[in-house]
Amino acid sequence: MPQISASAQTVLITGETGSGKEIVARGIHVLSRRSSGPFVPINCGAVPESLIEGELFGHEKGAFTGAIKTRKGKFETADNGTLFLDEISEMPLNLQVRLLRVLEDGIIYRVGGEESMVIDVRVIAASNVDLEKAVKDGLFREDLYYRINVLRINLPPLRERIEDIPLLAVHFLERAFVEMGWQSPFPSLSAETIYVLEQYKWKGNVRELRNIMTRIATLLPQNTKRIFPHHILPHMEEGERIKTADSYEPAQDGIFISHGTPMKKVEEIMIKEVLKHTNGNKTKAADLLGISLRNLRRKINK
């Protein structure tokens, strides 16, 4: 992602609903040279067709009934920053033409206005549908598709990114604690809790993980130091659990994974903890971690 962030080109992020496309877009913005500028998101599917043009480009006073004053649009607001166009497939075809022109020329006109404005905005678009199919079905302009599909990131669903779950869980948990006014150090996730999180199906993707961690933080007793499976299982749909905590006996102490720990270090901590739990039995450890014995040996030997 650092290379994509360093570029000024348009980015297209694809993936299932709730898979974390906006999180990735924000990450690209933060790592880019535009990080000091604004990050402005808009969900193209959440704005009525009659209003989305004004939302994007703004309008002049008197441009239409109810336009009692001049209003900036998202493009102006995002000047010198990043504009995130979520669910771009929902954008009306007639507006796609105008968007294409803006991406080519870097010039916008407010609705009802005649004066052009030069803007410096990097656009990141996202879609949860197959845009190539949408083009074939006549629902999305081919020229716009090729214009936004310069740099492509396909984001797999969370259930296929098990290695991301521990860090994301800690991130959402700590963010919720901060919003609630808790003081650090925050309650940590035990090894068996992380195991249960990794075995869950996550049909709602990253969004579901965020909601569950927020729920846990909100309802957790104030004196809790470590979060165990019995804290999280009531907030998870029983039918979506692949395995439960019964398949992993609770450890005595659990572990603490602090916010910002590199993924490589998280893997190392988890492997050591599970090997301790299995008394060094690599075959059993690999089974508990959900990876092959060969893969476990490769990670240990790194």
Q: What is the pLDDT along the chain (302 residues), one digit of tens a residue?
A: 688 999 989 999 999 888 889 999 999 999 999 999 999 999 998 998 878 988 999 888 877 777 778 888 999 999 999 999 999 999 999 999 999 999 999 999 888 888 889 999 999 999 999 999 999 999 999 999 999 999 999 999 998 889 999 999 999 999 999 999 888 889 999 988 999 999 898 989 999 999 999 999 999 988 888 999 888 988 888 755 554 444 444 444 455 565 556 667 777 877 888 888 777 888 877 777 777 778 788 888 86
Place of tokens 């033409």: 97
Q: Which residues contact 3 (CB under 8 A, 6 or more apart)?
A: none
Please give the structure tokens belonging to residue 227: 């979060």
Question: Alpha-carbon distance 282 to 206, whole Å?
Answer: 30
pTM score: 0.70
pLDDT of residue 265: 73
Helix, strand or coil, per DSSP, at residue 108: strand
Whether the Cβ atoms of residue 231 and residue 224 lie closer than 8 Å to each other: yes
pLDDT of residue 48: 87
- Which residue spans within 200-244 are E strands per DSSP? 226-227
Burial of 205 (0-12, 13-18, 19+ CB in 10 A): buried
- Which residue spans within the chain are E strands per DSSP? 11-15, 39-43, 82-86, 107-109, 116-118, 122-127, 151-155, 188-189, 226-227
Please give the structure tokens belonging to residue 96: 């796609």
Whether the Cβ atoms of residue 23 and residue 46 lie closer than 8 Å to each other: no
Count Cβ atoms below 10 Å from residue 24 Cβ, excluding itself: 21
Place of tokens 């909601």: 211
Place of tokens 């998870």: 236
In the chain the domains, ranked by start, together with CATH numbers, are 2-155 (3.40.50.300), 159-261 (1.10.8.60)
